[in-house]
Amino acid sequence: MWCLKRKAELLAIIALFGGVALAQGDEPAAEAAPQAGIAETGEQVASRCAECHGEGGRSQTRDMPSIAGFSMLATMDLLDTYRMGLRTARAVELPDGTKTDMVEVADSLSDADEWAVVIYYANQPWQPHEQPFDAALARRGAEIHAEKCDRCHYDGGRDPESDLPISAGQWRDYLEAEFDNFDSGRRAMSDKMREKYDTLSAADKRAIIELYVSAGDY
């Protein structure tokens, strides 16, 4: 349900930006300010995320997800899962000694800041993290994924158009932790994903993680 509400909001905001872009076509100098404002705000908000998610959303920490290139809807939905208590957030200590987590982060965003930051990340390039992997296992994972997961996580978890987190080339440590979180119930999943996920053996899960770690390049 929350997804539909978000989609409606997103369409409204895209229409607004579309309007701004059209106006710019006619009057480039005079109309340039509003969009520059949104881009600047996006960058400013993202500077609050960078301590954990890295510059431009490319994480330098293996247990922290990269979020560059996630679609706007994907990031909005993910932020909502924290607000709605569907996902337990881990507290992380910042260099200045303070602690925060994703629930606090999501709650602290105004609507305008959230739109700006999701647009910012949607425009950053996803760069798979190069990590060692077992090619035979990744191939096995690809077969299982094609059968059970690709319907939603398009193209082996590579395609941002699925409006889901990109998993191909994500950090292994982070992925393993999220599979554990799904298994233990610390992270909820939709009934439709559950239907498929619950048919996976422990070995199947390892194979799919290997596929993701390989970024499809096996």
Which residues in this chain contact ligand HEC in the complex, by CB under 6 A? 45, 48-49, 51-53, 64-65, 67, 75, 77-79, 81, 87, 89-90, 92, 94, 100-102, 105, 109, 117, 148-149, 151-153, 164-165, 167, 178, 189-190, 192-193, 196-197, 200, 208
Q: Which is nearer to ligand HEC, 14 or 90 (CB)?
A: 90
Going by C-alpha positions, the residue among 6, 13, 63, 83 that lies closest to residue 42 is 13
Q: Which is nearer to ligand HEC, 31 or 63 (CB)?
A: 63
Would you say 98 and 27 are in contact if contact means Cβ atoms under 8 Å apart? Answer: no
- Shortest reach from residue 149's CB to ligand HEC, in Å: 3
Q: Which is nearer to ligand HEC, 31 or 80 (CB)?
A: 80
> What is d(CA 149, CA 170) in angstroms, rounded to the nearest whole number?
16
Q: Which is nearer to ligand HEC, 33 or 55 (CB)?
A: 55
The DSSP 8-state label assigned to residue 153 in this structure reads S
- Shortest reach from residue 27's CB to ligand HEC, in Å: 32
- Cα distance between the two ends of the chain: 38
- Shortest reach from residue 200's CB to ligand HEC, in Å: 5
What is the number of residues in the chain?
218
Would you say 86 and 191 are in contact if contact means Cβ atoms under 8 Å apart? Answer: no
- Shortest reach from residue 29's CB to ligand HEC, in Å: 32
CB atoms inside a 10 Å sphere around CB 176? 15
Q: Which amino acid is at 178?
A: E
- Shortest reach from residue 32's CB to ligand HEC, in Å: 26
CB atoms inside a 10 Å sphere around CB 86? 14
- Shortest reach from residue 128's CB to ligand HEC, in Å: 13
The DSSP 8-state label assigned to residue 164 in this structure reads S
Would you say 101 and 91 are in contact if contact means Cβ atoms under 8 Å apart? Answer: yes
Q: Which is nearer to ligand HEC, 113 or 134 (CB)?
A: 113
Q: Which is nearer to ligand HEC, 31 or 101 (CB)?
A: 101
